[in-house]
Amino acid sequence: MKKFKIGVVGIRRGGTYVKVFHKSERSEIAAICDLSEHNLEASAEEIGLSDKQCYQDYDKFLDNDLDAIVVGTPIPFHEEQVVKAIKSGKAVFSEVTMANTVEGCRNIWETVKSSGQKYMLGENYIYLDFIQKWKKYIDDGRIGRIHYAEAEYVHDIRERLYDTGTRPGESYWRTYRPPIHYCTHCLGPLMYLLSGDRVTKATAWGNKATIVEDQTLWPSTIDMQVGLFETKEGRIVKILRSQVTPRQKHIVTYQVMGTEGFLESGRTAGYNTVGTRYFAGSDKRAVPMTCNGTCLETPKSLRFGGHGTSDYFGGQAFLDYLEFGKEPFTTVDRAAELTLPGIIAHETALSGGVWKDVPHFD
């Protein structure tokens, strides 16, 4: 069996996919790249790579004979690295989000389209166990026609936004990421549940930083942003995002409401294993749903990656794309559809919440 040769750049979060593609029977890690020698050494040792397979220079890394690149670097590098990888004839699996500007998304989209290469956005929350279950409920018509969907992702990551030791000193790349920019973990599963409906208009509120005080406003430390979105099919979508609110443990929650009932996830972490429930027209009251943090259908030997094995399923979807041409949900079109609403929403938050059209590439 042919093993796809995968290269991974950015091996902190990307390190998850080093494991996913190293352990799969269908792929092998042929090279890795990171600015940090320490991170390279640790990853190489873990899976037994030689020095020759480790690169600090991205262009030299790309010179390798590779089928695909996993771009796991900070978002500001995605545009340049994805475009270079596609132009050098490699397929790309990119970490979220697609890019941090409308122009960056367009550049990636046009490069992928004109090359005919494969690109997949690694929006892993789509592959969470309960989202997969909900999809079946919805497709079976048990919730009726959905007219409203919402998601909340509130995760206090202040230590990853700026140097909490020397504040107001060194800042990190996330310093400049407004909360609503990072919206694909919310919009991804919702648009998947809504069978690929897309956002056409956006507005958002939230431009104050009171939790992190005594500093020039950094986009990341805005207390909270709430985005409201209208979809092509006329649905309302609401998204709440914060990176600084001390909500312990963090929450990633979803709710959809339809003509026949609703689906609602629990408000605990652990991938909403507690409190998730549904109501369908034929039921007298809301019914708890059994949801597992780890998808139990995954063989024990394959329960790696993180996020309740959703990383494993995302990796498999990419390998299916490479091997059989089976399109994943998060193609390059959808990558833009899931990223652009957050970029536009932040723009509207800065201008007092006026509604704006979300660009659509075609």
Ligand X SMILES: NC(=O)c1ccc[n+]([C@@H]2O[C@H](COP(=O)([O-])OP(=O)(O)OC[C@H]3O[C@@H](n4cnc5c(N)ncnc54)[C@H](O)[C@@H]3O)[C@@H](O)[C@H]2O)c1
Residue from 31, 53, 72, 278 binding ligand X (CB under 6 A) = 72
Shortest distance, CB of residue 160 to ligand X, whole angstroms?
7
Nearest to 93 by CA among 26, 35, 10: 10
13 lies in the binding site for ligand X (CB under 6 A): yes
The residue whose two tokens read 């320490």 is 38
92 lies in the binding site for ligand X (CB under 6 A): no
Site mask, ligand X, residues 295-324, x = CB under 6 A?
Answer: ------------x-----------------
Residue from 6, 11, 54, 322 binding ligand X (CB under 6 A) = 11
Nearest to 242 by CA among 223, 265, 216, 218: 223
Interface segment toward ligand X; rule CB under 6 A; list 29-37, 107-115, 199-207, 340-348? 29-37
Interface segment toward ligand X; rule CB under 6 A; list 7-15, 132-140, 238-246, 339-347? 7-15
Nearest to 180 by CA among 12, 356, 1, 3: 356
Site mask, ligand X, residues 138-177, x = CB under 6 A?
Answer: -----------------------------------x----
Interface segment toward ligand X; rule CB under 6 A; list 73-81, 140-148, 161-169, 294-302? 73-81
Nearest to 254 by CA among 302, 306, 187: 187
Shortest distance, CB of residue 312 to ligand X, whole angstroms?
13
**What is the rounded CA–CA span in Å between residue 69 and residue 77?**
14
240 lies in the binding site for ligand X (CB under 6 A): no
Residue from 74, 144, 353, 359 binding ligand X (CB under 6 A) = 74
Q: How far is CA 188 from CA 5, 36, 51, in A?
A: 28, 31, 37
For the chain, the maximum distance between any two Cα atoms, rounded to a whole number of angstroms, is 64
**241 forms bridges with which residues in the sheet?**
153, 225
3-state secondary structure at position 168: coil
58 lies in the binding site for ligand X (CB under 6 A): yes
Is residue 67 within 8 A of residue 90, CB to CB? The reply is yes
73 lies in the binding site for ligand X (CB under 6 A): yes
Element (H, E) at 29: strand 27-33
Is residue 143 within 8 A of residue 194, CB to CB? The reply is no
Interface segment toward ligand X; rule CB under 6 A; list 3-11, 42-50, 145-153, 276-284? 3-11
- Which CB sits closer to ligand X, 33 or 146? 33
What are the backbone dihedrals phi and psi of residue 241, each rounded to the nearest 5 degrees, phi first?
-135, 135
- Which CB sits closer to ligand X, 160 or 356? 160
79 lies in the binding site for ligand X (CB under 6 A): no
